[in-house]
Amino acid sequence: MTRDTRALTALHLLLVWAAMTAAVPALGAGLFVSAWAGGTAGIVPVFVIGVPLTVGLLAITGTPARTVVPLCTTAARRLGWAVLVFALGTLGTLAGLGAYTAGVDLGSAGARIALTGAPYAVAAALFVPDRWVRLGAVAALASAVAYARRGDDDAGGARLQLAVRRRDAGRSDHRRPA
């Protein structure tokens, strides 16, 4: 990988991260508000409009990487690449959301918003034909899973302690188990 290719790869991954950091919270907020206001029927228009716009935004971010990523050489291939990155990145974002709801600390609200673009950048890095970039993406994925796993273990212990305290709070001194 030459110096120009490295710079273009870094720019490409930065663009994917920045675009998805802006688009995913907006799409999520739109889904939340439409579900709140209109139920399931309110979510459908957001999906019909929001998802293709987000995939189109991803396809645009793939344009500078035409010479680096083989799947971004033509408009049709770039659209296929965008769909794959969107699907994989959304799975990563949903995994992060699951970890957060399970009690894993992901920092402040600003940090969580910044983290929404990370799964998409990792997914995009998997399509760069350089073993070191792909290895870096796999290492980022493995460290995220390890962090979520560690946080999940910590959260499980905290939930158990809370359950024991609640159980013990309901007992008086004369009813202690023998």
Tell me how far CA of residue 150 lies from CA of 100, 106, 157, in angstroms: 12, 12, 11
Model confidence at 56, pLDDT cuts 50, 70, 90, reads very high
Q: What is the pLDDT of residues 72-103, one digit of tens each?
A: 999 999 999 999 999 999 999 999 888 888 88
Q: What confidence score (pLDDT) does residue 156 get? A: 54
User: Averaged over 131-155, what is the pLDDT?
Assistant: 82
pLDDT exceeds cutoff 90 at 53: yes
> Model pTM?
0.80
The span from the CA of 60 to the CA of 78, in Å, is 8
**Angle in degrees, 0-180, between the axes of helices 75-101 and 3-61, rounded to the nearest 10:** 80
Q: 70 and 130 in contact (C-beta within 8 Å)?
A: no
pLDDT band (50, 70, 90) for residue 173: low
Q: Are 135 and 36 in contact (CB under 8 A)?
A: no
